[in-house]
């Protein structure tokens, strides 16, 4: 029996945040203008989860990482050209719509189905990782539903740290209000961890890792099955970008102490 972890990271793709993201309505529902043509990146929250997963797997011999990703196959392929160079993983691809206007319930069902279909997966050692929310829409619900469907009841959201104790139990830091963390302990796998930012930097690209990953990524993309996902029956009353607020005041020769006092007053709401 393996002592390593079977870590499945659920991670979608989102448009590059530097692009112009302009919500528009079309007959099938809302979408981002020219979304298909915009460059995409791995959802930043999911990316943190992936780096944490790879770090844990490297530190725990016998572990393996899968990345389960739902998105248009062609766009997934482009994103993989970068992501696959970061850390070792095996891709499980689902060819379907990605973005902020799909139904979370449907997405969770597809992801859970894909995880269940991974050959030889040891559910007793399973850790389901993902972002606690998404850059395309912060519903924060998908991962919880994936866990429920897999009957994994130990779930943690907004995770910033996972420490493994000598007895194999976990100590987990979850974000709570006020910039503080809640510390939980868990006996061990299986568990669902929805990551916040974690604490690891983005790994540099490694061409050797990339070439090794690509041996499984490309076949996975080729055999990716079409996955019907959308938001049938859902009506979007309104979609818009968060409004930007910028208050600029130009003041010359303000002493540093005065600037500091203003910042403190702003933070404390005084």
Angle (nearest 5°) at CA 187 between 186 and 188: 95
Judged by beta carbon, residue 22 or residue 232, the one nearer other proteins is 22
Site of tokens 């070792």:
88
Binding of residue 92 to other proteins (CB under 8 A): no
Listed ranges 123-131, 167-175, 202-210, 256-264: which one lies at the site for other proteins (CB under 8 A): 202-210
Binding of residue 206 to other proteins (CB under 8 A): yes
Binding of residue 74 to other proteins (CB under 8 A): yes
- Residues in contact with other proteins, counted by CB under 8 A, come to a total of 31
* Contact between residue 161 and residue 175 where contact means Cβ atoms under 8 Å apart: no
Judged by beta carbon, residue 11 or residue 72, the one nearer other proteins is 72
Site for other proteins in 212-241 (CB under 8 A): 214, 217-218
Q: How far is the CB of 47 from other proteins (least distance, A)?
A: 13
Judged by beta carbon, residue 19 or residue 197, the one nearer other proteins is 19
Among 55, 73, 137, 181, binds other proteins (CB under 8 A): 73
Q: How far is the CB of 127 from other proteins (least distance, A)?
A: 25
Site of tokens 């779930």:
155
Binding of residue 39 to other proteins (CB under 8 A): yes
Binding mask 53-72 for other proteins (x = CB under 8 A): -------------------x
Judged by beta carbon, residue 36 or residue 183, the one nearer other proteins is 36
Q: How far is the CB of 267 from other proteins (least distance, A)?
A: 27
Site of tokens 């870590």:
7
Judged by beta carbon, residue 101 or residue 129, the one nearer other proteins is 101
Site of tokens 């007959």:
27
Residues in contact with other proteins by CB under 8 A are 16, 18-20, 22, 33-34, 36-39, 72-75, 77-78, 81-82, 84-85, 204-208, 210-211, 214, 217-218
């Amino acid at each position: 029996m393996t002592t390593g972890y079977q870590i499945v990271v659920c991670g979608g793709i989102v448009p590059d945040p530097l692009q112009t993201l302009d919500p528009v309505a079309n007959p099938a529902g809302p979408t981002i203008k020219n979304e298909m043509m915009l460059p995409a990146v791995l959802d930043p929250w999911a990316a943190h989860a992936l780096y944490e997963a790879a770090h844990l797997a490297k530190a725990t011999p016998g572990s393996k990482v899968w990345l389960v990703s739902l998105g248009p196959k062609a766009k997934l392929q482009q994103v993989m050209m970068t992501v696959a160079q970061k850390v070792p993983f095996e891709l499980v691809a689902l060819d379907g719509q990605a973005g902020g206007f799909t139904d979370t319930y449907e997405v969770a069902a597809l992801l859970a189905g894909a995880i269940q279909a991974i050959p030889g997966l040891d559910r007793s050692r399973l850790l389901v990782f993902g972002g606690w929310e998404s850059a395309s829409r912060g519903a924060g619900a998908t991962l919880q539903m994936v866990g429920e469907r897999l009957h994994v009841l130990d779930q943690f959201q907004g995770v910033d740290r996972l420490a493994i104790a000598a007895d194999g139990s976990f100590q987990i830091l979850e974000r709570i209000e006020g910039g503080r963390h809640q510390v939980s302990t868990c006996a061990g796998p299986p568990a669902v961890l929805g990551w916040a930012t974690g604490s690891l930097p983005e790994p540099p690209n490694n061409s050797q890792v990339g070439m090794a990953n690509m041996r499984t990524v490309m076949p996975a993309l080729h055999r990716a099955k079409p996955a019907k996902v959308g938001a049938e029956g859902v009506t979007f009353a309104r979609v818009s970008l968060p409004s930007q607020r910028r208050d600029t005041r130009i003041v010359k020769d303000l002493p540093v102490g005065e600037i500091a006092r203003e910042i403190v007053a702003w933070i404390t709401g005084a």
